[in-house]
Structure 1
């Protein structure tokens, strides 16, 4: 679908969350993930409390209503009582704060005079305390893109959440290893005009953070949240986009979703459907208990109930596609699953099917007093769970009448999104009383130096003779300081060759020979020293690295010949191949003596010898 984003009134802003290296934000534990067996597991149940406004946040209230048990796995040598919320937090990690202040300066943000740590209510189990510690550091920054500038209203330093390990019905297992890792959050204003511009903004912010040299690397260390709305829709937040290339498609799919939800709302208004305030949940177990549906048979066998609810005016709309392979019925089902914990729903737009016949559908229509314009939804589960699920479906149906619900959604692998929770409000914030405010002095700010940006490094490396792609690769890599060191120490070697050796040869050797190498700084140093002193030839670099051993141990095996040795060897080869023409002879000589001298020297000696 070709979309005109300007006509649609498209608005978009992004939030970048990047882990910072070092120890955790409020304790000395290392910021490292563990994949070995935990030393202990503790169980918690969390409850929401009122925020500074005196109200319980709507998202926290919904999470608390799920009544889940949370289990936290930890290790004695990398976790402490602070992460278990059994001990007050330490003062804020100064190194992490220093990194965030660098970012504030890069983005020309207004830095706060004092840092007041806040508690943000989170009762989905991702934090043992039921809240996340967060602190505003900078405001009113600016990000320059290719063709525009966008505002940066907030730069925040906060602690990362626990790592989700496993979810089973009403039980969730979390890892304490990620909890408390310093996290920088940078939010933009909703001035992004196209999906591609959103991708550029996310990439640019990621590069700025990496320029500090303090960004953690690896899967899950950076996450992008995207806020999207159109003129007739509303703001929807999509959480957890991990790859830059997926951002445009995620945004496009959300815009399409909002267009379709607006169309459904307009159709319901044409049908004069208003909010479903009075509705009846019916027990239809006896009407369908003999059908061939496996789900219903299992429910009857387990003495559960099959409950149904009529949705006035929804006939033909529950089955309408809102995103690729996702229908309004999918959104009804997600609400039922998340809020009530049921396995799913049946709805009349998809029936007869799944073992429910046309005759049984007609009986259900009649029993629930459905007209031609009406639809119904069924849930098979324990009575209380089924009732809770259908109430959630009716709530989502009422939102469909209004249009697009304001909610938080999670990014799916196919670049669609699914419901996660309501949009939280200001009610979830209140001051952290265990962490004293921290004054940002002029002396502290004067000591903050702006690092050389990755994009500036790439330009500098291109001027050294590197290709554009190789320059960007080196600039983005933690090895760029190593590259600069060797360029400075070995001026006779082309910088482009040094870059290729450091950045690409390990992958090339793995691809061609299936050998995984991991040279040390000393190995590279010995290699470049040997090249500079004329002890080894460039042609032998791959062979030396391919040995996958300390370079100084094996370099003698690849030493170049002296001029006398070389002349003697060439004579020997010529004697054995007198009848060959020069072009064929040079091929034989090069093959035999490759890596023992430069190709230029071999060619010159051979020409001299054969006239």
Structure 2
């Protein structure tokens, strides 16, 4: 189970599955798939229906993701982990939302789906008040092509020019409700259009007209031809006659469902947090446990062996880093989240101070992201740079310059860059010689301010020595020489 601030959530099933084909192109009447994912194993993990808050769903998903990541045996990155959300509200229906990839989008998608269901229930209630019944919605399609013979609508004119027709269906009691917003930027009419999409690119309905080249005169003519009342609506489709009928049949089906409330559906997550119809929700035969996957009962001895060798969870690792290595919590969290934690511990075991290793891996590398493609700096580059540091060949100030150059020229080694850029450490004699030059150039200021000139002299010395001398050595030599002159 997963413990959250809103209560515990169980994990009843873990299934091993095979990845499916993926869609690479959608055409008007054709979908092209690639089969290169077939054979790739997938682990499907389901939770009990105990999630009652949008943020709780995010917490549970993150915990599962962290647990999988801790094994070091799963792929990472956008698209490798996909959440399917099942959302329902009191009085609504179970909706399965497929393909949620971004963790931070989970609460928004759940909130938007709950909002959609609430608004659909309000539409249902209003239809009931108007006395509309499912049997009032009939598959009676009226040919209104003659109304649009001289239309300004390019879409309709194009369809008629290809020999198509304009068909209309009457929806009693639906006027003002088809255009009702149910999610930001999406309406009941959008849901009807989603259903019709497998046959036509779009539909027209009375609540959005006049528009799209359809005039008020056209609208009045359709109203008269269909004999609509004040609260009645119509939906138009322009296409080849049989195609138009099939599309309007989908509209009729969705209108009848609107009278009932919220239809059970499988929907896809959209980038803005809304959802879109995919297909009807599978029946009870497809409910968990999966009917086509045999249950595997593990021997108790095997279970105990697994328990004894469970990987360290990310949050446990963060706590260990904070307490054991005494590094800042934000650094520890970034190391673990960016998967630099193993490299960090490797460097510490070689003798690098934990605070320095964490600072270089997090602060320095992240700081370079805006300047150079730092992702090209490999772990091997980083290891080489730290080896130079441990051998006393570079100062800690040289890491930034070395990584910046390696990001631009990843084919080089850290040693090559350090030598080419003059970032190798100078001898103490060479450092002292440069400091003497700085002292000589600023002798009057030193005589006037004494130790008060320390900051200025250090700044000017480090401008010449940064990355080529240890800061502590420079500070010690500058302090000593100013004291001698004071």
**TM-score, structure 1 normalization:** 0.71
Q: Secondary structure at the match of 2:122?
A: helix
Corresponding position of 1:598 = 470
- 1:413 is paired with a residue whose SS is coil
Which whole-Å deviations, capped at 9, do the CAs of 1:178-234 have from their partners, x for residues lacking one? 233221121222221211111111111111111111221222111112111111211
Cross-structure match for 2:159: 299
1:479 to 330, 333, 340: 340
SS at match of 1:558: coil
Which structure would you say has the larger Rg?
2
Q: Aligned-pair distance for 1:326?
A: 1.0
- 2:374–2:403 CA contact under 8 A, matched in 1: no
Whole-Å Cα distance in 1 between the matches of residues 295 and 6 of structure 2? 39
Distance 1:355 1:558, change over 3 A: closer
* Structure 1 consecutive aligned stretches of length 4 or more whose deviation exceeds 6 Å: 436-439
CA distance in 2, matches of 1:315, 1:517: 56
TM-score, length basis structure 2: 0.88
Higher relative contact order (CA 8 A, sep 6+): 1
Alpha-carbon offset, residue 519 of structure 1: 3.9
**C-alpha offsets along residues 41-72 of structure 1, whole Å, 9 cap, x if unaligned?**
xxxxxxxxxxxxxxxxxxxxxxxxxxxxxxxx
Say yes or no: does 1:382 pair with 2:232.
no
Two-structure CA RMSD over aligned residues (Å) = 2.3
What does residue range 9-408 of structure 1 map to in structure 2 within 5 Å? 142-276=1-135, 278-338=138-198, 341-408=199-266
User: Structure 1 residues 281 and 535, CA, compared in 2 at 3 Å: closer, same or farther?
Assistant: same
What's the CA shift for 1:591?
2.1
Aligned to 1:34: none
Structure 1 residue 353: Cα displacement: 2.3
Displacement, 1:441?
4.4
Are positions 1:489 and 2:347 aligned together?
Answer: no
Q: Which residue of structure 2 aligns with residue 100 of structure 1?
A: none
Would you tell me which structure has more strand in proportion to its own residues?
1
Structure 2 runs not aligned, ≥5 long: 407-411, 447-452
- Give distance in 1, aligned partners of 2:322 and 2:49: 34
Structure with a larger share of its residues in helix: 2
CA distance in 2, matches of 1:547, 1:264: 62
| Structure 1 runs not aligned, ≥5 long | 1-141
CA distance in 1, matches of 2:360, 2:60: 32
Partner Cα distance (1:593, 1:426) in 2: 73
**Given the superposition, is the C-alpha separation of residues 381 and 204 from structure 1 closer, same or farther in structure 2, using an over 3 Å criterion?**
same
Other structure's SS at 2:397 match: helix
Which residue does the alignment assign to 1:580? 445
CA distance change for structure 1 residues 555 and 319 in 2, over 3 Å: closer, same or farther?
closer
Indicate if the aligned counterparts of 1:163 and 1:179 stay in contact, CA closer than 8 A: no
1:422-464 Cα deviation digits (max 9, x unpaired): 00124467648xxx99774456545532111111011111222
Q: Secondary structure at the match of 2:85?
A: strand
| 1:530 alignment counterpart | 388
1:538–1:272 distance in 2 versus 1, CA, 3 Å: same
Bigger drift between 578-587 and 466-475 goes to: 578-587
The equivalent of 1:589 in structure 2 is: 461
What SS does the corresponding residue of 2:76 show, helix, strand or coil? coil
Deviation (angstroms), 1:534: 3.0
SS for the counterpart of 2:177 is: coil
Question: What is the CA–CA distance in structure 1 between the aligned matches of 2:232 and 2:373, rounded to whole Å?
Answer: 65
Query: Take 1:304 and 1:192, find their aligned partners in 2: how far apart are those partners?
Result: 50
